[in-house]
Amino acid sequence: MAAISSLSLKTPTKIQSLTKTHYAIPLNLPFSCRSKSKRTGSIGSRTRIRCGLLIEPDGGKLVELFVEESQRELKREDALKLPKIKLTKIDLEWVHVLSEGWASPLKGFMREDEFLQTLHFNSIRLEDGSVVNMSVPIVLAIDDSQKNLIGGSSSVALVDDENNPIAILSDIEIYKHNKEERIARTWGTTAPGLPYVDEAITHSGNWLIGGDLKVIDPVKYNDGLDRFRLSPAELRDEFTRRNADAVFAFQLRNPVHNGHALLMTDTRRRLLEMGYKNPVLLLHPLGGYTKADDVPLHWRMKQHEKVLEDGVLDPETTVVSIFPSPMHYAGPTEVQWHAKARINAGANFYIVGRDPAGMSHPLEKRDLYDADHGKKVLSMAPGLERLNILPFRVAAYDKTKNGMAFFDPSRPQDFIFISGTKMRTLAKTKESPPDGFMCPGGWKVLVEYYDSLDQAENGGVSETVPA
């Protein structure tokens, strides 16, 4: 922790303007570890990934849950004979998350013992006595009629809207879904209006079904963004290819402004000072379910692209990829999940901001969580001891520099704080933020997004997706 403290206490340097502009997505690179593991792995086997100097996955192994390619047809036929559970959009996102090993060492949707440990301890004890972090329940709900349909079968097929089999869940266990308790222990409130609860829990079934998951075909969304959805194994390969000796992850679900960029650039500088030779940034926007007033993934990706094009971040030392998890907005509980999943992707440093995964209280005029609890809970969380937590330093608009800078409490009058709400209001009303708040290309994307919303409200296109 000494290193972390010094990292957040030292004075900042000014952000450097960088000129390279291409997106740092290694799409055409050989993914030796991934390709190899997927080709040679048999059903039920786990693949041990050890790429260079990277942090080990939780449980020592990255658990990928794909049916071996040669077995896919066979499994598809098997699936057709099994009782079927139709997946919602969010269920499918969790299938995606589980299948790629973000939740390693989980082998499928949680059984009751994993669910209870998650709710009560935010962690799971493994057979060898070691503990891994697991703070958010990854569960599949079914209703009475589905439960009856399953009867005594020990396996079920998970199918999409059109009854295409996506995966098989075997050695199943069905147990009660106490929604109230799940919500209270995950969110620390049961107030109506929690987005994930409204979307995925309130109307879900009264039972949960856990078991071992095997995904027949890797989940794809065919939305033009699949190429940005690198799995943990692919990310590990990429970090290894770049000879990264430190990987620092930045989770985001908002447009990147120059304050973020300052933080990320400064973090790299400090890691270099600590003696690392090649720290690589994982800029990792969340790609699953988000609430209605968040900027949609497509627009955010377009905005991030512009930020890289404008040279605000160095593509040589930045990997931009999509984190496929849905968003809970569960503050200190969820930030642990965000951090833990990045360990599995090879990150050994995690940048945590003010009020991570937080939101306003649905009923009261206050934030749902204390803004400092996220980083405090994260720094004490069981199973995350190996991860270096980097607390976010507050950046604000410095009027004396006409740009974003770390806040200097000795001269508060020089700084303007531009909140997410303020930023959105400016973009909606087509006002410009102060020069240097965000690169012009990135800002333009935001304005376009809110424009498209206006058009939709006025009877135009419902949601224009940027190319």
Contacting residues toward its own copies, per CB under 8 A = 112-113, 116-117, 119-123, 125, 129, 131, 135, 176, 178, 180-181, 184-185, 187-191, 332-333, 369-370, 373, 376-377, 380-382, 385
Closest distance of CB 122 from its own copies, Å: 5
Residue appearing with tokens 């909606």: 428
3-state DSSP assignment of residue 72: helix
By beta-carbon proximity to its own copies, the closer residue of 88 and 117 is: 117
Closest distance of CB 165 from its own copies, Å: 32
Q: Are 201 and 177 in contact (CB under 8 A)?
A: no
Residue appearing with tokens 């969820």: 334
3-state DSSP assignment of residue 14: coil
Closest distance of CB 376 from its own copies, Å: 6
Closest distance of CB 108 from its own copies, Å: 19
51 closest CA partner among 220, 226, 228, 231: 231
By beta-carbon proximity to its own copies, the closer residue of 84 and 125 is: 125
By beta-carbon proximity to its own copies, the closer residue of 36 and 179 is: 179
Angle at 102 between CA 96 and CA 108, to 5 degrees: 60
Closest distance of CB 229 from its own copies, Å: 30
Closest distance of CB 332 from its own copies, Å: 7
Q: Are 51 and 345 in contact (CB under 8 A)?
A: no
Residue appearing with tokens 């400016």: 426
By beta-carbon proximity to its own copies, the closer residue of 86 and 125 is: 125
Closest distance of CB 52 from its own copies, Å: 27
3-state DSSP assignment of residue 349: strand
By beta-carbon proximity to its own copies, the closer residue of 180 and 457 is: 180
- The answer for residues whose C-beta is within 8 angstroms of residue 66's C-beta and 6 or more apart is 38, 41, 99, 214, 215, 218
By beta-carbon proximity to its own copies, the closer residue of 38 and 354 is: 354
Closest distance of CB 351 from its own copies, Å: 20
Angle at 241 between CA 238 and CA 243, to 5 degrees: 110
By beta-carbon proximity to its own copies, the closer residue of 190 and 402 is: 190
Closest distance of CB 181 from its own copies, Å: 4
By beta-carbon proximity to its own copies, the closer residue of 189 and 348 is: 189
Distance CA 263, CA 277 (A): 19
Helix axes 373-380, 331-344, angle to 10 degrees: 50
By beta-carbon proximity to its own copies, the closer residue of 162 and 180 is: 180
User: Do the strands 318-320 and 207-215 form a parallel or antiparallel pair, or are they unpaired?
Assistant: unpaired
By beta-carbon proximity to its own copies, the closer residue of 223 and 385 is: 385
Which run of H or of E encompasses 159? Answer: strand 156-159
The dihedral built from the CA positions of residue 13, 18, 21 and 25, taken in this order, carries a sign that is negative
Closest distance of CB 184 from its own copies, Å: 4
Q: Are 38 and 66 in contact (CB under 8 A)?
A: yes
398 closest CA partner among 384, 376, 414, 386: 414
Closest distance of CB 110 from its own copies, Å: 13
What's the longest Cα–Cα distance across the chain?
71
From residue 86, give the alpha-carbon distance in Å to each of 108, 223, 358, 413: 16, 21, 30, 56
By beta-carbon proximity to its own copies, the closer residue of 117 and 455 is: 117
249 closest CA partner among 411, 390, 85: 390
Q: How far apart are the first and last CA of the chain?
A: 43
Closest distance of CB 377 from its own copies, Å: 5
Beta-carbon neighbour count of residue 151 at 10 Å? 7
By beta-carbon proximity to its own copies, the closer residue of 189 and 258 is: 189
Residue appearing with tokens 């449980």: 59
